[in-house]
Amino acid sequence: MQQDSKYVIGVDLGGQTAKIGLVRSDGYIAGRRVIRTDNYGREALAFIKDLAFEIKDLLLNCGEPVIQGVGMGAPNGNYFTGCIENAPNIQWASDTSVPIAQLLSAELGGLSVTLTNDANAAAMGEMEYGAARGMKDFIVITLGTGLGSGIVCNGHLVYGHDGLAGELGHVCVKEGGRKCGCGKKGCLEAYASATGVAVTAAEMLRKSDEPSPLRQKAVITSKDVCEAAQEGDALSQRVFDYTGEILGKALANFVAFSSPEAIILFGGLTQAGELLRAPVVKAMEDNLMNIWKGKIKVLFSPLSGSDAAILGASALAWNND
Amino acid sequence: MQQDSKYVIGVDLGGQTAKIGLVRSDGYIAGRRVIRTDNYGREALAFIKDLAFEIKDLLLNCGEPVIQGVGMGAPNGNYFTGCIENAPNIQWASDTSVPIAQLLSAELGGLSVTLTNDANAAAMGEMEYGAARGMKDFIVITLGTGLGSGIVCNGHLVYGHDGLAGELGHVCVKEGGRKCGCGKKGCLEAYASATGVAVTAAEMLRKSDEPSPLRQKAVITSKDVCEAAQEGDALSQRVFDYTGEILGKALANFVAFSSPEAIILFGGLTQAGELLRAPVVKAMEDNLMNIWKGKIKVLFSPLSGSDAAILGASALAWNND
């Protein structure tokens, strides 16, 4: 045991990339790497070997500090088992259970590896460094390729009976609605995510002849929609109105569950700023019970890029000794 | 302080009645009283004085044991403030905050009075004496006049930031649906409750000429529907299919939030037995993510009548010394 080590590795593993950070005990990220997660087909082990290589190479380039462990946030990452379990957005884990903590540990010579849900990691980052400092009851919603959530009640992450709690992207918001990556229909994630925004934009473009700069794009991304909306494109703005309304109604239901002090929005979609937040807050307020109207804060994460997720994941490694 | 006292009072306060129990430390209910809650108009204090009178009279009739305190479960009962806050089903608290713990304590000569949500009290009763013994993650759904819920995560009741968490009766299940007592539309409680079952039956009777013994009733109650269904009335059975489907879909969403080991159904509607449970389980399973299919128990409370609520409420008083 290296009791004096002052560094850990935090890994934010998503549908497209894994972001690796070498994190000092004061939260300073001393080095970073990014590798893709989406070009390994069904070869989980090939990805894990590449991830281990990048971690070792990062350490080599940073003067080989002694590190205490690796904390990792990943979709459907199970804190209890160390496995990524049936994660719809990761092909090599989409219909199986990948014991990534154990396998990565083996590739790293037995170094301790702790896993949790990517959104739980973000929630830990917000609690320690971000918008939730001092809060005991809050929900973090990550709006990336998918929609994740980390729920904190009375100061503790909600893991549930099996470690898989907090799949708020997969509550049903439209009966018989859009097909979701998880196999169900009408999931919140199919609407309130980068993917959902792009689909909504494509639908709106198909349904009218209204002019929009989006019509010049061969493939529309949520970033395109965000930029067009910020430049005044009415159709793109309605995409965010629609997205925000669905998300806000869902948030009202979440409030009825755990009565949080705040809901913290995090991830790429939040770059839309008030274009997204305003319809979210309106729809949430319209659907809250009277006891909560005007009382629930809807905040954007103040942490830049994926720092919250890397820092949150790294906090797992600090806590694990 | 009476360190040797072996009794507490548990009060289960609902939309129609308040059930009072004198509870011994081993869970034996040594004496009971019931008073109405629905004939006081807006006079909260008149009700509280009558409640105090009944408690004192019950104690007098039971040989005046020394009691340690009063634990009370009530709709929108706030553990943090001791107030019943805007409880839609109680006229004298429907649009105000009634500091019932403080007022009842004053009427009882300063005796300690602790309040919580009625469904939280039921959850504590289930954890201590009922279907949730040994469980750390479960949800109790109370199906009475309204629909209440008590949520336990990692062995602790979820109170939320303000003490009001667990209002699962007021998640929206039908956009623009039935008007709910809370002022919103389409709440789960407007469908999955004794009131909701009666409304569904009336709607189904209006929409067809199908024969049903329910047509002979001037006013239809959920008990009538339950009895007719159990005697083979097809229309009444469809009322439970419809109710169970809506409830089961909602339960699937709740599982995505807290991933409980079990969901425990409690209250009058559970007398319908498998007529209710079968469609609930089917709809829940059809709407669960793959990771949870076949893994979430749906149980009926084994506790008779309102014992779970009285015992759960009484547990508050034991814990409060």
Per-residue DSSP letter, B101? H
pLDDT of residue A261: 98
Q: Say yes or no for a CB contact (<8 Å) between A165 and B153.
A: yes
Q: Which residues contact A25 (CB under 8 A, 6 or more apart)?
A: A6, A7, A318
Q: Mean pLDDT of all residues in chain A?
A: 93
pLDDT band at A2 (very low <50, low <70, confident <90, very high): very low
Shortest CA gap A158–chain B (Å): 7
Which residue in chain B is spatially nearest to A151 when comparing CA positions?
A: B257
* Chain B residues within 8 A of A261 when measuring between CB atoms: 161
CB B20 within 8 Å of CB B11: yes
Characterize the bridge pairing of strands B17-24 and B7-13: antiparallel
Q: Which residues contact A19 (CB under 8 A, 6 or more apart)?
A: A11, A12, A32, A33, A34, A306, A309, A310
Interatomic CA distance for residues A308 and B87, integer angstroms: 39
CB B229 within 8 Å of CB B236: yes
Per-residue model confidence as pLDDT tens digits over B121-134: 989 889 878 899 99
Q: Give residue for tokens 């008030």.
A: A274
| Cα–chain center distance at A48 | 20
- In terms of phi and psi (left: phi > 0; alpha: psi -120 to 50; beta: otherwise), the region of A35 is beta
* Chain A residues within 8 A of B135 when measuring between CB atoms: 161
Of B6, B4, B13, B2, residue with least CA distance to B101: B13
Interchain contact B164–A (C-beta under 8 A): yes
Per-residue model confidence as pLDDT tens digits over A273-282: 999 999 999 9
Mutation target among B83, B258, B293, B297 for the A interface, most CBs of A within 10 A: B258
CB B79 within 8 Å of CB B163: yes
Interchain contact B54–A (C-beta under 8 A): no
* Chain B residues within 8 A of A156 when measuring between CB atoms: 153-154
pLDDT surpasses 80 at A319 = no
Helix (H) or strand (E) holding A228: helix A222-230
Per-residue model confidence as pLDDT tens digits over A11-38: 999 889 999 999 998 889 999 999 999 9
| Alpha carbons within 13 A on the beta-carbon side of A213 | 15
Interchain contact B80–A (C-beta under 8 A): no
Q: What is the mean pLDDT of residues A199-213?
A: 97
Shortest CA gap B107–chain A (Å): 28
Shortest CA gap A9–chain B (Å): 28
Interchain contact A256–B (C-beta under 8 A): yes
pLDDT of residue B1: 37
Angle, nearest 10°, between helix axes A194-207 and A222-230? Answer: 70
* Chain B residues within 8 A of A251 when measuring between CB atoms: none
Interchain contact B216–A (C-beta under 8 A): no
For chain A, percent of residues with pLDDT exceeding 70: 97
Instruction: Tell me the DSSP string of B192-260.
Output: SSHHHHHHHHHHHHHH-----GGGG-SS--HHHHHHHHHTT-HHHHHHHHHHHHHHHHHHHHHHHHH--
pLDDT band at A321 (very low <50, low <70, confident <90, very high): very low
Q: Say yes or no for a CB contact (<8 Å) between A260 and B161.
A: yes
For chain B, percent of residues with pLDDT exceeding 70: 97
Angle among Cα A19, A263, A14 to the nearest 5 degrees reads: 20
Distances (CA, A) of B204 to B211, B228, B235, B242, B282: 11, 14, 7, 10, 22
Per-residue model confidence as pLDDT tens digits over A76-124: 899 999 999 888 789 999 989 999 999 999 999 999 999 998 889 989 8
Strands (E), chain A: 7-13, 17-24, 29-36, 67-74, 84-85, 97-98, 113-117, 138-143, 147-153, 156-157, 262-266, 297-300
Mutation target among A98, A259, A264, A292 for the B interface, most CBs of B within 10 A: A259
Select from B156, B168, B259 the Cβ nearest to the Cβ of A257. B168
Interchain contact B185–A (C-beta under 8 A): no
* Chain B residues within 8 A of A76 when measuring between CB atoms: 291
- In terms of phi and psi (left: phi > 0; alpha: psi -120 to 50; beta: otherwise), the region of B102 is alpha
Interatomic CA distance for residues A249 and A270, integer angstroms: 17
- Worst-scoring range by mean pLDDT, A201-210, B176-185, B203-212, B299-308? B299-308
